[in-house]
Amino acid sequence: MIAAMGDDSGRIAPRPPQRVMRLARMGAAHQTRLSFMRILLRRMMRDNWRFERPVFDIGADGVGHAVYTAYGPERCYSLVAFAHDLPDEARSDRVIAEAWDATFTLFDGLPDDADIERLRANVPLQEAGRITQSELSLSRANRSTRLFAHVVERLSQGLQPDAEMVAAVGYLMRTTAVYGSGKFGAADRECIARRAEFSAPFQVEMLSVYLTRCFVMDLVEHLARARAPQSAVRMDPAIKRSFSIGNSTGLGMAPFLVNHPRLLNNWIAAREEALARVRNLPQATEAEVAVFRAVLRRAIENAGLWTSQHPLQIEKLDALRGDLSRLSAHATPERLAQKRPWDALYRWAEDHLGFEGQEQLVALLLEPYGDLVDDLGETMSADEEECFAINGAMPVGRLKQILGDVYDWAGQIDWSSRAANARAWYVSQEKLEPRLGERFDEPIEDYEQPLAPGRDAARLSAALSGWDDDRPVAEFLLASPEHRHIVRRAQIAARFRYAEIRDNTIDHAMLPIDMLRCKLAFFGAGRFDPRSDRWVRINMFAGAPFPEELADWTDEAWAYGAEQ
C-alpha cells in the first residue's frame, strides 16, 4: 500500500488495483471524459467531420433503407440502415431473436448499388447472414413501442412529444447487439487499428451507434410527415438532443473484460492516471472550480432523472443522490481554494461517500481538465499479440510470488465450499450465447469456459507447491499443460496491474451487472437500469449534439444532460 501513499517525489500515485479492481466498485463506474463516445465526439468536432444522407428510401410504412455517411479528414464511413415492418409480438431483445425493427452495418467508404443489394440480402439476417471486409460492424435495434408511436403521433399532429414520456423511456430505439472486430465476416480490428480515427477502442461501434441515432430521429419525423403532411412538424432541437439510443446488454459482454486483460488494464490505467494527475494539482483556479461545480450540479440533475425498477439499482441511486448532496455541500469554493484541493476532496470522499459517490466524483474531477487528461485516450487500445507468449524462462519462484501479489485474495477463499464455486460460465448450443449457470444444479460443468481466474490461480498455486523455485515455468507447463491458461494470465497481470478483476467471478453472490456496468461506463453509457442481476438497459449519446450542431458545439460535458 506504500505506492498508494505517493512516491519519493511526493506525487500521489494512481489508486492501487486492490482497491480499483473489485466488482462492487467496478459496478459503480460512471462515464468520464475518457469514455469512448466522448472521445469520438471530440475527434469529430476537432477535425470538422462532415455528414451526408445520400439515400433515404423509406416508405410511409416505415420500410426501406437509408445511408448516412460521415466524412473524416482522410476517409468516409457509411451507416447502411434497413428499416423493417416487425409485428409487436415478434419483438425481442434477446440474442436468440430472429427479426428486428431495423438492422445496420457500418460500411468502409461509400457503398454502391451492388454493395447495397449484397447487404440487403445479409444484414437483415444478422448472425445468420455474412458480411465482408468492407463492413466494420453489424447491429440491430428495436423500437420502444410505446414512445415511438407517441412521438410519431404528436409530431404528425403538429405537437412536440410529452416531456415526461420522453424522460421516462429516453430512447426511440434500443440496439440489442453491436458487433465489430471481425464478427460474422466483418473486417478485423487489425485492418483499421492504424487509422487515427479508430485508434481509441470501440470507435467503429460508437460511430455506428451515433449515426443510428441520426437515422432514428429522421425516421420518426419522416413517419409523422407521411401520416399528416399538412400538420406534421419537426422535433424541437433540445428535445431531440435529449433522446439517446437505448441498449439492452446481456451476459455476452461480461466475459469480454476477463478475456481481454491487457485491454481492461489500459482502460482502467488511463482513468486512474487521469485521476492521479488531477489529484496532484497544487491548486485549482476559480474557473476550474466553477466548471467542476457546474458539472456537479448537472450530475445531481442527472441522478434525479435516472430511474430504475430494480431493487439493487434503486438502492444504489438513493446512495448516489445522498452522496452527491453531501459532496455538493462539502465542495465549497473556499475548500477548493486550498492546497491540493482535488486530492483533499477525493480523500474526503473515500471517508464519507459510498462507491457510487466516489466513482461519480472521479468522473467529475476530470471534467475541468481536458488539456491535462484527454491525451490518455490514446493509451486505451492494446496490442494483445504482444503479451500472448508465455515467458517460459521465468523461475517457478517468481510465478509463486506473482500469485501471492495479484491473486492473494483468491488464496483466502475456501474453494471447497459450494458458495465459492456456485456458478459456471458456459456457451449454449443454441445461438452460441454466453450464459451463467448453477454448477451444482445444471449439467454444465463439462462445458465451463475459462472465466474463473481466482479459482484457477488457487489451483495453480497448489500445483506449484511441490516445485522447486529455481526451475523454469517451461518445465512446469510441459508437465501440467492444464495450467497454461492461468499461467499466461498471471504473467500478463504481473506486467499490467489493472488487468485482473480481484473478485470471484463464479461466487454464488456475484453480480454480472457489475462487469457490464464497468464496460458500458467506458463506452460512455448512462442511466444504467438493470432488469435482473445479468442484463441491463442503458442510454447512449443522450444529450449529444447532432451532426448539424457539431460545428458550433462548445458544451464538453454534454453527457451529463442539458444545462438547466
Partner 1 sequence: MSLSLNEVESLSRKAARGAGLSWGMAEEAGRAVRWLEAGGIGGADALASVLLRHDDKSLRAPGLSEIRGQGGAGDLPLCPIATGAALSDFGLGENTLTLDAVFAPILLAGPLARVAGRMGAELEALCKGGALCLSPEGMAICGDVSPWLEGAAIVEIRRLTGDVPGAPNARRTRAHPAPAVLDILNGFAARTYAPATEASRLAGAGAGPSDND
Q: Closer to partner 1 at the Cβ: 207 or 490? A: 490
- C-alpha grid cell for residue 230? 399538412
Going by C-alpha positions, the residue among 138, 194, 257, 178 that lies closest to residue 501 is 257
Nearest distance, CB of residue 259 and partner 1, angstroms: 10
Q: Closer to partner 1 at the Cβ: 82 or 476? A: 476
Q: Closer to partner 1 at the Cβ: 446 or 552? A: 446
Pairing of strands 244-249, 171-179: parallel
Q: Closer to partner 1 at the Cβ: 530 or 561? A: 530
Nearest distance, CB of residue 429 and partner 1, angstroms: 4
- C-alpha grid cell for residue 317? 441511486
For the chain, first and last CA: distance in Å?
42
The region, left, alpha or beta by phi > 0 then psi within -120 to 50, assigned to residue 339 is beta
Q: Closer to partner 1 at the Cβ: 37 or 254? A: 254
- What is the rounded radius of gyration, in angstroms, for the C-alpha atoms of the chain? 24
Nearest distance, CB of residue 40 and partner 1, angstroms: 22
Q: Closer to partner 1 at the Cβ: 365 or 424? A: 424
Q: Closer to partner 1 at the Cβ: 10 or 466? A: 466
Nearest distance, CB of residue 258 and partner 1, angstroms: 12
Nearest distance, CB of residue 400 and partner 1, angstroms: 17
Q: Closer to partner 1 at the Cβ: 49 or 77? A: 77
Nearest distance, CB of residue 478 and partner 1, angstroms: 6
Nearest distance, CB of residue 151 and partner 1, angstroms: 13
- C-alpha grid cell for residue 255? 466475459
> Which residues contact partner 1 by CB under 8 A?
88, 91-96, 130, 132-133, 142, 144-147, 169, 181-183, 185-191, 248, 250-251, 388-390, 392-393, 426-430, 432-433, 435-437, 442-444, 446-447, 450, 472-475, 477-478, 481-488, 512, 531-535
Asked if 322 and 339 count as a contact pair (C-beta separation under 8 A), the reply is no
Residue 563 CB coordination number (10 Å): 13
Instruction: Assign 79 to helix, strand or coil.
Output: strand
Strand order across the beta sheet in which 171-179 lies: 50-58, 64-71, 76-83, 102-108, 135-143, 171-179, 244-249, 536-540, 526-530
Nearest distance, CB of residue 372 and partner 1, angstroms: 36
Place of cell 433515404: 56
> What's the Cα-to-Cα distance from 346 to each of 19, 30, 284, 338, rounded to whole Å?
14, 16, 14, 14
**What ranges in 125-250 are assigned the alpha helix state H?**
145-156, 163-169, 189-192, 203-227, 237-242
